[in-house]
């Protein structure tokens, strides 16, 4: 009796027809070695199956990688050490990445699939990997707290306030430790956007509250369902633009969210609809990680070391007699190394600090660690301080360097050209590469920039185009 020949094959039948592992057939389809299903969802015609080369299909598959190993590989790709506010990639997250079509499931459980190591390596090399994970992988409560950079108790307050709602749930069987539990999952994009769409909250205070202290969010009232609305000024604050810009968007774009309340003069709009519109029109971005700064520090006895600062916060004094402070998140080894550099009697010198929103600055000595603080979420935050009168601009170039004119001291100087600030006439005490060992020039200090050479400022102002008010000010910066 003749064996019947199928005209259509599902993936199991196709693999059996070619006598290759099912994982090999799946990878051949996922990698484009054989055409995609042509006879329906997950179904191939006999012509396509018989045209496939079994040896090529078998050879294309390397040993599948388990979900746990793939998760570790993707976590490693996020950075070593793992960036702050970035949770580890879990085995279940790999299942979500497969559902998003970024990886091919070769076998195993659908929630914890086996995948191809080469495809995992390709995904790990993508520069937009953090954004992809945010877009496709939901987060449990603990992971959401880590993504936001707060304690779990602070995240519970976020949920209580109605600022975040579950997008899915997962069932976990703890067996002898509580039985079956339904754990809510939250959109990582929504979590990352919270500091953007809730600008009225002091997120720095929430992220630095010590363990055991009451959450700053506990004093806030929950939003009324259906009443989470924004005025035009509130929309402008989210985008960091003027109210007039939002008025213009509303007039020019027909798809701008419809008014849900308020008056004609002060219309109100649903916050979620506004945020969706702003994202779709590239008016705001999803933060992939907190701002990062770079700090190059030199010890008094020599030796220079570079540090990475997470979410740097620079507080500059109003006058030269005050104290500047720099705080940020550090790794354990960097915190120990920085404390050791600043422990000498001279303190340390900042050769170059580069932080978002500030110009590169340098400090020639007396830099000390004044606070070594661990937040309730487990992060390590250091605060450095130095006399504001020593702050100066770093030299041009990546290497930077301590202030141009050596170590200055505060004193009166007739050559000081500062007419608008009481700088005290800071005077250089060592040889200057721009002026040699002449008696001048005088140094001047300004709240916005620290130490400057008065003579150099005058020289630059005389060669650069100036407005009338700047020329009348005598060239002082």
Interval 54-92: pLDDT, tens: 999 999 888 899 999 999 999 999 988 888 899 999 999
User: Tens of pLDDT along 147-201?
Assistant: 999 999 999 999 999 999 999 998 877 666 667 788 899 999 999 999 999 999 9
User: Tens of pLDDT along 423-474?
Assistant: 333 443 344 444 444 444 455 554 445 555 555 455 545 555 543 333 332 3
DSSP letter string, 365-426: EEEEEEEEEE-TTS-EEEEEEEEGGG-EEPPSSSS--S-TT-SEE----TT----SS-----
Residue entry with tokens 């008010």: 469
pLDDT at 411 over 80: no
pLDDT at 4 over 70: no
Select the more confidently predicted residue: 215 or 177: 215
* Cα–Cα distance for residue pair 185/88, rounded to 1 Å: 15
DSSP letter string, 159-216: HHTTS---SEEEEEE-GGGTSEEEEEEB-HHHHHHHHHH-TTS-HHHHHTPPTTSPPG
DSSP letter string, 250-319: HHH-TTSPPP-EE-SSSEEEEHHHHHHHHHHTTSS---SS--EEEEEEEETTS-EEEEEEEEEEEE--SS
pLDDT for position 391: 81
Q: Which residues contact 13 (CB under 8 A, 6 or more apart)?
A: 6
Select the more confidently predicted residue: 366 or 157: 157
Among 111-120, 169-178, 389-398, 431-440, top mean pLDDT goes to 111-120
pLDDT for position 134: 96
pLDDT for position 176: 64
pLDDT category, 304, cuts 50, 70, 90? confident
pLDDT for position 433: 45
pLDDT for position 218: 95
pLDDT, mean of residues 372-392: 85
- How many C-beta atoms surround the C-beta of residue 72 within 10 A? 16
pLDDT for position 334: 92
pLDDT for position 210: 83
CA-closest candidate to residue 196, choices 158, 167, 237, 227:
237
pLDDT at 34 over 70: yes
pLDDT for position 414: 46
The pair of structure tokens assigned to 442 is: 């005088």
pLDDT, mean of residues 38-42: 90
pLDDT for position 10: 93
CA-closest candidate to residue 133, choices 93, 95, 165, 101:
93
First-last CA distance in the chain: 99
Select the more confidently predicted residue: 43 or 437: 43
pLDDT for position 269: 95
pLDDT at 99 over 90: yes
pLDDT at 109 over 60: yes
User: Tens of pLDDT along 247-266?
Assistant: 999 999 999 999 999 999 99
pLDDT category, 26, cuts 50, 70, 90? very high
User: Looking at the DSSP assignment, which residues form a beta bridge with residue 298?
Assistant: 304, 349
Please tell me the least confidently modeled range out of 27-36, 153-162, 188-197, 397-406: 397-406
The pair of structure tokens assigned to 471 is: 């020329």
Q: Which residues contact 155 (CB under 8 A, 6 or more apart)?
A: 141, 144, 145, 148
- How many C-beta atoms surround the C-beta of residue 88 within 10 A? 14
pLDDT for position 449: 52
* Cα–Cα distance for residue pair 147/84, rounded to 1 Å: 8
The pair of structure tokens assigned to 421 is: 């600030």
pLDDT for position 462: 57
pLDDT for position 458: 52
The C-alpha angle 125, 130, 136, rounded to 5 degrees, equals: 110
């Amino acid at each position: 009796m003749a064996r019947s020949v199928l005209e259509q094959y599902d993936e199991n039948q196709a693999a059996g027809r070619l006598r290759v592992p099912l994982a090999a057939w799946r990878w051949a389809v996922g990698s484009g070695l054989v055409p995609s299903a042509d006879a329906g969802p997950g179904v191939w015609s006999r012509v396509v199956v018989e045209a496939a080369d079994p040896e090529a299909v078998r050879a294309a598959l390397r040993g599948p990688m388990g979900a746990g190993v793939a998760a570790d590989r993707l976590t490693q790709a996020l950075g070593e050490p793992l960036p702050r506010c970035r949770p580890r990639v879990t085995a279940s997250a790999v299942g979500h990445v497969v559902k998003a079509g970024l990886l091919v499931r070769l076998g195993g459980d659908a929630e914890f699939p086996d995948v191809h190591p080469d495809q995992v390596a390709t995904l790990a090399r993508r520069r937009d990997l953090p954004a992809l994970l945010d877009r496709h992988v939901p987060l449990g409560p603990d992971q959401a707290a880590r993504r936001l950079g707060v304690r779990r108790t602070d995240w519970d307050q976020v949920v209580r306030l109605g600022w975040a709602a579950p997008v899915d749930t997962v069932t976990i069987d703890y067996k002898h430790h509580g039985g079956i539990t339904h754990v809510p999952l939250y959109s990582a994009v929504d979590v990352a956007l919270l500091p953007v769409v809730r600008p009225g909250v002091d997120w720095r205070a929430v992220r630095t509250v010590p363990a055991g202290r009451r959450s700053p969010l506990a004093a806030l009232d929950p939003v009324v369902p259906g009443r989470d609305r924004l005025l035009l000024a509130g929309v402008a604050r989210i985008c960091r633009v003027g109210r007039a810009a939002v008025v213009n968007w509303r007039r020019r774009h027909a798809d701008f969210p419809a008014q849900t309340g308020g008056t004609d003069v002060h219309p109100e709009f649903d916050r979620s609809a506004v945020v969706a519109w702003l994202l779709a029109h590239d008016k705001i971005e999803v933060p992939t990680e907190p701002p990062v700064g770079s700090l190059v520090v030199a010890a008094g006895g020599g030796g220079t070391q570079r540090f990475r600062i997470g979410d740097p916060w620079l507080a500059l004094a109003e006058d030269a007699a005050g104290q500047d402070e720099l705080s940020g998140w550090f790794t354990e080894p960097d915190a120990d190394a920085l404390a050791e550099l600043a422990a000498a009697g001279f303190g340390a010198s900042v050769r170059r600090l580069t932080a978002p929103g500030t110009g590169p600055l340098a400090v020639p000595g007396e830099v000390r660690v004044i606070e070594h603080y661990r937040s309730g979420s487990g992060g390590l935050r250091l605060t450095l301080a130095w006399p504001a009168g020593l702050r100066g601009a770093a030299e041009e170039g990546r290497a930077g360097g301590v202030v141009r004119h050596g170590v200055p001291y505060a004193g009166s100087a007739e050559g000081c050209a500062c007419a608008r600030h009481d700088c005290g006439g800071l005077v250089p005490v060592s040889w200057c590469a721009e002026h040699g060992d002449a008696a001048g020039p005088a140094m001047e200090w300004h709240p916005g920039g620290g130490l400057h050479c008065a003579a150099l400022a005058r020289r630059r102002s005389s060669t650069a185009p100036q407005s009338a008010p700047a020329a009348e000010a005598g060239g002082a910066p």
